[in-house]
Structures are given as structure tokens and as C-alpha cells.
Amino acid sequence: MERAFLVAVESRMSNHRWTSNDSLQELSSLARAAGADVVGMFVQKLDAPSSTHYIGRGKIAELVNRKQEAQYNTVIFDDELSPRQQRNLEELLQVKIIDRTALILDTFARQARTHEGRLQVELAQHQYLLPRLVGQWKHLERLGAGIGTRGPGESQLETDRRLIRNRINRLKDELENVRRHRALYRKRRKERAVPIVALVGYTNAGKSALFNALSKAQVIVEDKLFSTLDPVTRCLTLPNGRQFLITDTVGFIHKLPLSIVVSFRATLEELSEADLLLHVVDISHETAANQCRTVMEIIAELHLEHTPRITVFNKLDLTLNSEVELEALTTIPYLGEQIVVPDGKIALISATKGWGMDQLRDRITSHLDNTLMQGEH
């Protein structure tokens, strides 16, 4: 098991809705999900992260001094490092340096189970790796010209770059085929006029548990980040006899890198065809409001802000004693305000206990009936 030390910078550029400590706690969960033992962490306040080392020289010296005590062999940073920052830190600390993006990609790679999921993760990994190849072959550059260096006309660095670029192009071609296949599938679904309901939400909000509760599927449910990576779709029948498709997709997270969003374009396009989004929120989580805002920002980036949406507050069993208490709730705090519950756009549930599922089905039925009526007119 790798022993990891976590480091964050709190700066004027930071998203101040998220405290650095909250962000570090989430990074710690990611590290543990990847199999690391977190042995320490700190936050440094700076006007801006150092362009050469991310943190200041004093904090680097502190990290070096704490190496023997903490016995860490990996340092994980809570932002994406530039190739220059990563190289400089590796030279000074003499341990493995990982940033938030690499950690998320590692977690994704562990969870990808389908061919498409693995393609998407591999593309994101190669795009992340390409600019970081510089400096990997300094030992060859130091040899200089002369005996032992003559060869096929390109350095090892250039060879690696060419191979990775070729692999990126092949992965893009394969994913484009997946995207075309999905587009044909969506076209056939539209011709059949079967509405689509898509689950969105922060990672570990309970989307898979809700998917199982609605569909009686056996999707893996685990209490850890990104336990579901590959999209799953099932056909369901509502009490009024109406059929619809429900899709569970990858969860979102704070500081989700754009490269990952782009790599998962084929999967996320499924959301663009949805007639209704179920935004699943872990109401028991201490950063639930910030998680909500993060998901809504990503929804806006995907141009889905106008898609009808029901906010599904999940895990009420962790804050209430019974379903009777749940049914008695008339308001709930949401993004700093008290929201009236019976407005059709809110559902209170416990997916694992089955609480509130009938009311949620009624709200889905009402939304889909309204969508159908609007389509007819």
C-alpha cells in the first residue's frame, strides 16, 4: 500500500464555496478508493499557486523534513499540476508526485468494466500523459551525440510522443464509432417515442441504489467514489402502463478536469437525449449544497440546464428515523433556502430503505405525461 501525503493550496483563485479542508477530505476519499494509506495533509495559503513548484519553498522544506516521520512515498496535490511543477517537485522530494487529475483517472481505470469505459479512460490517460513526457528521457539527452547515440533518426522522447499520438488517434476513432452507434440507437428510440429518464448527481450520492430500486437491476452499489463508471440502461413500466428508459451514468465531482469530460463525450451525450433528469443528492452529506452546485454547473456546461429536472434528496434514512417522519416533511433546506417539498420538482427518498419511492414514481409519471402533452401540441 502506498503511503500518501496530501497537499492543497488555498488562493484567491480558489472556489471559495468549497473550503480547502473539504476539498482535501474529498481528495483523501479518492486516495483511499485508489488503495492509498493517507498519512498526513496540509493546506498552504498563497495569493496564487507557485508556477514552478505549486507550493512555496518553505512548505517544500517542511515536506522533506516530515518524510522520515510520516514515511510517505507519494505526495498527492489537490489540483492539476503543470508538467513543469510535477518535474520540479519530483526532483526536490524524490518520491512519486500525483495530482488530482491523475488520481481521478486512476480511480476511473479501476472501475471501468466495459470496453467503452476502458476506451474512454485510456484516451483521457494518454491525453494527460502526452505533455508530461518531456523530461522522462533526460538520461538520453545527457549522452549527447557520438558513439552509442546514432540510431533511426529520432530520440526516445520523439518515439514515445509519436506512439502516444497514434494511440490517441486510434482511441478517438474507436470512440467515434461508439458515438455513431449510440446516435443510431437514440434515433431508433425516438422513432419508438419511448421517453428517457437519466440519473445525474455527485459521485456516491446513491444513483446506483436508486437505479436498482426503480428497475430491480443488480447494478453494483458500493460506498465509495465512482463505483459506477459505465452507463446502464433499463426499460421500466410506470403504474399507468407508460414505458420509459432509465439510464445511470458516471457521477460528477468537484474539480472534474475538462479532459475527462471531453473523453466521456459519447457517454454524456446520452444525457442530451433525456426527457427528464433525476438529480440525486446525498442530503446527509455535510457538503450537500456545494455538491448540488457542482452538479448544476456541469449540467450547464453540457447545455442541459433547460431539461426538466426533479431533485431527488436521497439517504433520508441517515437523518430520519422512519418513513413516517419523511412523509411529514413539508420543507427542506436546499442551497441555503427552505424549499417547499410538494411542488412536483422535489422528491424525498431513501433508495436503500425504499422510502418515498411511490411518490417519486408519481412525480416521474406527471413529468412524462406533461412532456407527452406538450409534444402533441
Residues 205 and 336 in one domain: yes
Q: How confident is the model at residue 292 (pLDDT cuts 50, 70, 90)?
A: very high
- β-bridge pairing 337-340 and 331-334: antiparallel
Please report, for residues 41, 134, 136, the alpha-carbon distance to residue 83 in angstroms, rounded to integers and kept in the order given: 22, 8, 11
| Residue 349 belongs to domain spanning | 193-376
Q: How many residues does the chain have?
A: 377
Q: Single out the residue in 191, 214, 248 at which a domain terminates.
A: 191
- The SS3 assignment for 334 reads strand
Residues 153 and 275 in one domain: no
Average pLDDT over residues 280-308: 92
Average pLDDT over residues 199-214: 92
Q: Single out the residue in 137, 172, 191 at which a domain terminates.
A: 191
* Counted domains in the chain: 3
Residues 28 and 147 in one domain: no
Q: Shortest CA distance to 263 belongs to which of 136, 174, 165?
A: 174
Which pLDDT value is given to residue 222? 58
331-357 per-position pLDDT tens digit: 888 888 888 887 889 999 999 999 999
Describe the strand order of the beta sheet including 232-237 as a list of residue ranges.
Answer: 232-237, 243-248, 196-201, 276-282, 309-314, 346-348
Which pLDDT value is given to residue 137? 46
Q: Single out the residue in 164, 191, 218 at which a domain terminates.
A: 191
13-71 per-position pLDDT tens digit: 776 678 888 999 999 999 998 889 999 999 999 999 999 999 999 999 999 999 999 99
Which pLDDT value is given to residue 338? 85
Higher-scoring residue by pLDDT: 197, 224: 197
Which pLDDT value is given to residue 27? 94
What CATH number is given to the structural domain containing 65? Answer: 3.40.50.11060
- Residue 363 predicted with pLDDT over 90: yes
What CATH number is given to the structural domain containing 280? Answer: 3.40.50.300
Return the number of other C-beta atoms located less than 10 Å from residue 263's C-beta: 26
Residues 98 and 134 in one domain: no
Q: Within its chain, how far is the Cα of 248 from the centroid?
A: 13
Which pLDDT value is given to residue 181? 84
Residues 230 and 368 in one domain: yes
150-186 per-position pLDDT tens digit: 444 456 677 788 888 999 999 999 988 988 887 887 7
Residues 99 and 210 in one domain: no
> What does DSSP assign to residue 216?
-
Which pLDDT value is given to residue 4? 96
